[in-house]
Amino acid sequence: MPFTKGRIVAQKKILVIEDEEDCVTYVTAVLQNENTDVVSARDGVAGLKAARSERPDLIILDVQMPKKDGFTVLIELKEDNVTKDIPVVMLTGITERTGVKFTASEIGSFIGVEPEGHVLKPIDAETLKSEVARVLAS
């Protein structure tokens, strides 16, 4: 079911900031039937630049990336007047690697800025769609 606003189906632009090509391909495939335009950046520095130029409706942001990690990018996004109101869904594989589970509020407690949502890796398609829909609806 496409993301909707009332009865009008509004296309949403989603920026995926993720260094793993397979992950970007997967997220794009999952969201392609949801009336979205998915664009991507492969590291934190490029992601910040893309967020400012693309002005997406939502950012899906990986935690572990080259040049700038996702936590640093999230802080900078929320401190920038151009990007501060763009909702962010964090992607994290930390739980799979370490067994430590993060929630959005725990991320907020850890770095002082809370993302609007989060999805654990490996990414479950229905969980991703549900979280993106929830965040876009709020």
Domain at 12-137, CATH class:
alpha beta
CB burial of 86-101 (b: ≥16 within 10 Å; e: otherwise) equals bbbbbbbbbeeeeeee
Percent helix / strand / coil, the chain, rounded to 5: 45, 20, 35
Instruction: Domain ranges for the chain, please list them.
Output: 12-137
pTM of the predicted protein model: 0.87
Residue 93: the pLDDT is 78
The predicted-structure confidence for 4-44, as pLDDT tens digits, reads as follows: 544 345 789 999 999 999 999 999 999 987 789 999 999 99
CA–CA gap between residue 86 and residue 82 (Å, rounded): 9
